[in-house]
Structure 1
């Protein structure tokens, strides 16, 4: 029946409000197998957080579940319960044929899964950027261009390893077209690295501040909608990013923008509030700067600053140090100056996102709707202008 491992140190660091376990079942591939196993998990009181199904060319199935809700002390009890329930199902005439082949079971840490990458399979091309704790490289993994974030060995203290573990845990959970795609990770010290899809367009920050690019209103709205959709998805999954800024927004070859860098992201507790200062001062919400309880609405404030960046191409509070800006945001209600010729709806949205009281800030789903309405109106206005210009040109020629 296979072996069962106990909790590892890593999973204890990932533990939130409940214990989480990985259940792996391998057998010959059968129809209705996944649905049958899903029902089985539910019946014994397990909540499925993730499910991955794999089939080999020689007809075998590997089903991996990350679950919580097991209230008993040992995972040996869970193994025994699974075996008992599967044997019970096999005795039922409807399902006996589907589960007739021997099964193997494994219950253990959800980090020990298909995302683990053999470091020797990574090929490094060149360094893209350097940070305080690690370096970002362009590389290749299995013929695919990837970005590889490698933590420096000399920086591997407890806090950095916890942030790394949290980032891997969150990236494994998310799948959205506006969130950078996770490929895998090397999670066994001394080499710790995260591998994500390579984004050839670079960051929005580099485009604005290094390439001196400018987003006209239609492009600005497209970028803002991409970010808003990605953030809607993250918040729906109780993930607070906590460091939304132009440098953490990456562009692919089609200029689709994706949210990246989950090093300090956290899963929001059920109470809906979090504490402790984190993020980057120029983009940080006042409640976070002031060490007050905060929720996902802190991301909305940061998004407002990003929207201002897209609008102006400037660094927020450029004439102040980060700390001076932070103090002014909290004590004086300082916000970046909005240019006079800004679209009125955009001004209104910025002011909503920047509200001092978090509850008055909109949800990202609402923000997406506002931006989409602006896109539609802008398109209609441009079309009307073109028609008017054609009409005037025709009358002039007449």
Structure 2
């Protein structure tokens, strides 16, 4: 078995190196690595003790360790060691998914939930499938005592795969009770769902229904050629099409936004993701940000999102919306050029730099965002992915709304469907694939308000999908700190109401925040005036004492720290 500090494999002697710790790791990372190692060793021990044939094969140690290493660390923490065979099932499904003919690889089994007696959310599952050992399942979470199905799916990872799978489960009448989603380092997915809503005696039929449903979705994607750009946003959206040489963006003929790539100078890379990269650059002597789609990942879906982002960004002009400069629309070099925001994102400031906003500054940030969002809504644009990572700051600390990759022009009916956005900030009606309107952005803004206040990641102890399930089924919301200003609390609670009609519009939100900011300013000025009066009275008493008693200068006052203006610092505000 592997032990901490043991850098070599104890398996077949193949020379595979297992680096279990790193001197540069943070204490938290080291702790997680130790826990991962403990789970690996326990799974290995249990498999060998049970006489599992696969576990007795030469080189199995290395194969099992490679399985844990290709998945994120929290996979090991999520595994139930009492069901060690589940790890082999996950390993087998991932192996099958390597062959396109086997995708998706699916395993379905029946489980029975037994709530624990200690009040925790970790419930016990027992398998009711014949031939499967009873005991706890690989899932650790549940809600009620009943028969449910555990569905494990592995396939090649792709954009919006998770939302497509959850939509599929919903379409066939399943209610997701919990979900665990993992992506491997080599581009595959492993997703585990615990669901109810299917007769427990029809496990094989459920598996067949899932396989048919996934195949239909794949066929629809294949049939969706670059020429068949979505016409959700009629009539303008119907104009969008992809031609052989150029991706045509709808235009009214007044904007000249096509950029010649020769005029772009690329600088340092700011960020990189699976499907694109962000660079700091220069365009016509102006500092800009250049978002480039990776050519080897461009497909019809990404082309549609790219076209939609350009289509929307070239229409907007507001001081609290990131300014669009232009775009290169000739594949494969698709890129969008915007003004460069030197302050970075609010998300990075809060969560990576561990910064915080004093309350007056927090209100200014919230007002900036509200003004940008109000402008978008007045132009019938729904952002659909409002979160701290999409709020950028310039050199003057002005905050601007950014990233319109999934934004949409509101349909004439006023409502839209299909899930998009990021689960931690997503409105319940969007999570449930119900019709929604601009009030979905207001819900996301409420979560952002809480994030600005606390500096914490929403539902930080849950996975994104677990948080989404809690929001929809249990009314889960972030905990508001005590001593928060009552009007701010009221705005938070109104913004994330379950019923969208009860949420305020951004025009009203601006008024609420501006009025609250005025009250805070008045309070600060009142405190400053009280401070000045207190200092004046104290200095007057000291002069009287000096004259009467000929006391040395300063003896009439207690010793207090002084500021740059030589006034004593009696307190610090926020």
TM range (shorter): 0.7 to 0.9
Alignment match of 2:461 (pick from 300, 319, 325): 319
Q: CA deviation at 1:272?
A: 1.0
CA distance in 2, matches of 1:351, 1:186: 43
Q: Deviations over 1:69-108 (max 9, x none)?
A: xxxxxxxxxxxxxxxxxxxxxxxxxxxxxxxxxxxxxxx9
Is 1:306 matched with 2:448? yes
Is 1:214 matched with 2:382? no
Is 1:144 matched with 2:361? no
CA distance in 2, matches of 1:168, 1:248: 16
1:226/1:256 contact within 8 Å kept? yes
CA distance in 2, matches of 1:109, 1:279: 24
CA distance in 1, matches of 2:252, 2:263: 19
User: How do 1:319-358 and structure 2 match up within 5 A?
Assistant: 319-358=461-500
Q: CA deviation at 1:109?
A: 5.2
CA distance in 2, matches of 1:270, 1:331: 30
User: How do 1:104-143 and structure 2 match up within 5 A?
Assistant: 110=251, 114-143=256-285
1:20/1:110 contact within 8 Å kept? no
The 4+ residue runs of structure 1 with deviation greater than 2 A are 9-22, 392-398
2:233/2:410 contact within 8 Å kept? no
CA distance in 2, matches of 1:348, 1:201: 30
CA distance in 1, matches of 2:496, 2:306: 30
CA distance in 2, matches of 1:13, 1:173: 19
Alignment match of 1:182 (pick from 295, 307, 324): 324
CA distance in 2, matches of 1:354, 1:300: 7
Q: 1:271 and 1:380, CA in 2 relative to 1: closer, same or farther beyond 3 A?
A: same
Q: 1:14 and 1:187, CA in 2 relative to 1: closer, same or farther beyond 3 A?
A: farther
Specify the alignment match of 1:275 in structure 2: 417
1:133/1:151 contact within 8 Å kept? yes
Specify the alignment match of 1:285 in structure 2: 427
1:275/1:294 contact within 8 Å kept? yes
Q: CA deviation at 1:188?
A: 1.2
Is 1:16 matched with 2:233? yes
User: How do 1:201-280 and structure 2 match up within 5 A?
Assistant: 201-280=343-422
Q: Deviations over 1:192-213 (max 9, x none)?
A: 0000000000000011111111
Specify the alignment match of 1:76 in structure 2: none
1:304/1:353 contact within 8 Å kept? yes
5+ residue gaps, structure 1: 1-8, 23-107
Q: CA deviation at 1:121?
A: 1.1
1:135/1:151 contact within 8 Å kept? yes
Q: CA deviation at 1:392?
A: 2.2
CA distance in 2, matches of 1:21, 1:275: 17
Q: CA deviation at 1:395?
A: 2.5
CA distance in 1, matches of 2:448, 2:435: 22
Alignment match of 1:391 (pick from 533, 537, 550): 533
CA distance in 1, matches of 2:453, 2:236: 45
CA distance in 2, matches of 1:21, 1:208: 40
Specify the alignment match of 2:507 in structure 1: 365
CA distance in 2, matches of 1:258, 1:390: 37
CA distance in 1, matches of 2:294, 2:376: 28
Cα RMSD for the two superposed structures: 1.9
3-state secondary structure, aligned to 1:173? coil
Q: 1:11 and 1:146, CA in 2 relative to 1: closer, same or farther beyond 3 A?
A: farther
1:14/1:165 contact within 8 Å kept? no
Q: CA deviation at 1:391?
A: 1.6
5+ residue gaps, structure 2: 1-225, 240-248, 542-574
3-state secondary structure, aligned to 1:320? coil
Q: Deviations over 1:309-356 (max 9, x none)?
A: 100000000000001100000000010000102111100000000100
CA distance in 2, matches of 1:127, 1:278: 27
TM-score by length of 2: 0.52
- Structure 1 or 2, whichever has the larger Rg, is 2
3-state secondary structure, aligned to 1:136? strand
CA distance in 2, matches of 1:260, 1:179: 6
Q: CA deviation at 1:15?
A: 7.9
Specify the alignment match of 2:302 in structure 1: 160
3-state secondary structure, aligned to 1:292? coil
Structure of higher RCO (CA pairs closer than 8 Å, 6+ residues apart): 1
CA distance in 1, matches of 2:232, 2:419: 21
Count of aligned positions: 305
